[in-house]
Amino acid sequence: MTVFRAYDVRGVYGTELTEDLAERVGKALGSYLADGKITLGRDTRKSGPSVERAFLDGVLSAGCNVDSYGVLPIPMISFETWKGSYDAAAYISASHNPPQYNGIRFRTAEGYGMLYHQTEMMDLYEKGAFREGEGRKTDRSPEDAIRRYADYVEGKLDIERPLRVVLDMGNGSACGMSLLYQRLDFDGRVINGEPDGLFPGRGPAPTEESLKEAAKKVVGARADYGVGFDPDADRGLVIDDRGRIVTPEKVAVILAKERYGPGDKVVAGFDCSMIVERELLPLGIEVIRERVGDVYVANRVKKEGAVLGVERSAHFFLSEFQLSDDPFAMSLALGEVISRGERLSDLADAIPDYPYIQKSIRIEGSPAEVMRRLAGDLASLEPDATDGLKICTEDYSVLIRPSNTEPLIRLYVETAGGDEDELVERFEGIIKGALK
C-alpha cells in the first residue's frame, strides 16, 4: 500500500517510510515552495529525529528556509505558521498509529491541513524535478510558542471560576502543554506526562478503554473534566466529571449551543452522529456534512466560514481561535462553558444517546466495484454519496463506506427507534448480496 495517503505520508518506519523517502519528500516540498520558509515540528516517536533530519536535508537542499521547533503539538506549529506568515508547515508524526509507524504531515500558510495531492508537490516528487539551493535552519523555542499561544487565547476566553482539569498527555507532544493551562490559572493534573515515543502509559490512541486511568483521576481529584491527547495532539477526547467519555459530537453540540447561534455553520464528518442535526437545526444552526478525514473537514470549515468543525475521531476546529484542528482551544472553550456553573455531566446528559453500531465486512476484489453495485441496490433509498453511501431518515441513519486502509466495507448504523439489530441485519445482508 502506498505511503502517500490522502492528506499525509505515513507508513512503518524503516520499511515503508525510510530516510531516503523522507528526504525526497522534503526536496519536493522545498521545490514547490520555491525559496519559501516553513515551520517544522515533530512528536515523540523514537524514529522522529532521524526522519526529521532526512526531511530537513531535503527541504534545505531545495533552498527553503526552516524554523524548527522540535517536539511541539501540531496545533502550536499551525498557530506559529499562521501568525508568523510562513509559507507552509511540515510535521513528523504518524498521529495515533503504533510506535513503529511514522509520517510527514503538511499545513498551509494559514495553518490548516494541506491537501498536498492538489498541489504541484507530488508531480515534482515523481519527476524528481527538484530545485537546488542552500536553505537555512533556525532553531525556535517550543516554550516561547506555547506562551505566544497562551497570550492569544487568553483574550478570547472569559473563565468565571477556577477549574481543575486532568490532562492525559499520552507521552506525546502534548507533554509540554501544562504550561498553557498554568498560564490560564487552571489546576492541571497531568498523567502520562513524560515524553516517550513508545507511549508506555496508555498507548498512542485516546479511547474509552485507554483513558480509564485518566477517568479515575478525574473522579478521584474531583476535577471538572479531563482531556486525553494523541501523540501529535491534534485530537482530544473529553472525560466528564463523573469519569465518562463525552462523545466528540456531544462536545460539539455543547459548544455550539453555548458559544454560537442562529445563522452559524457547523461542519461534521460524514460518520458523525445524527444528534448534531437533531440538536442544532432547531436552533437555526446550519449543519454541513463533509467526507471523513480531518483535512477535508478543515478545508470545508475554511470554505464555508463555519464557526465549528468536528470529527467522530475527536478532531475539533474552532475557527475563532485558528483554522487548524486544535483540542487545546476546544478544551479551553469547554472550560469557559463549565465555569459558568453547570457540570459537564449534566450538559452531556441533556443530549440523547442513540445506539451507534459499527461492523466491518471483509471483501475480495475491488471496493469500488462493490460500492458501485451497492449504489444500484440502494438507489430507491436515495443515498448521499459524498463519502460512501449514507441513508438518513427521521429515525435512523446508515453509512456504508470502504476502508481507506484495508479490504473492508464498513457499516455504521445509528437509530433512535430501538431497532438497531434489525437494521444491521438488513443492511449487512444487502452488502453481502453485493459481494456475490
In a domain, 149, yes or no: no
Say if 411 falls within a structural domain: yes
Domain boundary, last residue among 314, 349, 384: 349
Per the domain annotation, does 394 fall within a domain? yes
Q: What is the mean pLDDT of residues 249-273?
A: 97
Q: Do both 83 and 18 map to the same domain?
A: yes
Question: Is 277 within a domain?
Answer: yes
Q: Is 309 found in the same domain as 279? A: yes
Report, in angstroms and rounded to the nearest whole number, the Rg of the chain calculated over CA atoms.
Answer: 22
pLDDT exceeds 90 at position 366: no
Assigned domain for 336 exists: yes
CATH of the domain at 107: 3.40.120.10
Annotated active-site residue in 31, 93, 95, 397: 95
1 assigned to some structural domain: no
Residue 244 shares a structural domain with residue 323: yes
Is the domain of 271 the same as that of 198?
Answer: yes
pLDDT of 1 strictly over 60: no
Number of domains in the chain: 3
- Does residue 400 register a pLDDT over 90? yes
What gap in Å lies between CA 82 and CA 108, rounded to an integer?
8
Q: Judge if 185 and 300 occupy the same domain.
A: yes
Query: Same domain for 170 and 266?
Result: yes
pLDDT of residue 37: 98
Bridge partners of 190, per DSSP, are 167
Here the CATH number for the domain that contains residue 364 is 3.30.310.50
Kindly state whether residues 276 and 184 are assigned to the same domain.
yes
Q: How far apart are the first and last CA of the chain?
A: 25
298-346, pLDDT tens digit by residue? Answer: 999 999 999 999 999 999 999 999 999 999 999 999 999 999 999 999 9
375 in the same domain as 325: no
User: Distance between CA 251 and CA 330 in Å, rounded?
Assistant: 9
Residue 175 has pLDDT above 70, yes or no: yes
Backbone CA torsion sign across 362, 363, 366, 371 = negative
Q: CB–CB of 72/44 below 8 Å? A: no
95 is catalytic: yes
Query: Mean of the per-residue pLDDT values for the chain?
Result: 95
Same domain, 302 and 392: no
Q: Are 288 and 267 in contact (CB under 8 A)?
A: yes
Please determine, for residue 253, whether its predicted confidence score (pLDDT) is greater than 70: yes
On whether both 243 and 374 belong to a single domain, the answer is no
Same domain, 108 and 237: no
| CA within 13 Å, CB half, 14 | 4
The answer to whether residues 194 and 103 belong to one domain is no
pLDDT at 365: 79
Mean pLDDT of 402-427: 88
DSSP states along 43-112: -S-TTHHHHHHHHHHHHHHTT-EEEEEEE--HHHHHHHHHHTT-SEEEEE--TTS-TTEEEEEEE-TTSS
In a domain, residue 18? The reply is yes
Give the model's confidence band at 177: pLDDT under 50 very low, under 70 low, under 90 confident, else very high.
very high
Last residue of a domain, one of 140, 169, 187: 140
Query: In whole angstroms, what is the distance from residue 17 CA to residue 140 CA?
Result: 26
Which of these three, 140, 168, 197, is where a domain ends?
Answer: 140
Do residues 151 and 79 make contact, with C-beta atoms less than 8 angstroms apart? no
Residue 29: inside a domain = yes
The grid coordinates listed for 346 are: 449534566
Domain around 415? 356-435
E-assigned strand segments in 322-372:
356-362
Instruction: Indicate the pTM of the whole model.
Output: 0.94
Looking at 84-173, list the stretches that DSSP marks H as alpha helix, in order from N- to C-terminal side: 121-127, 142-154
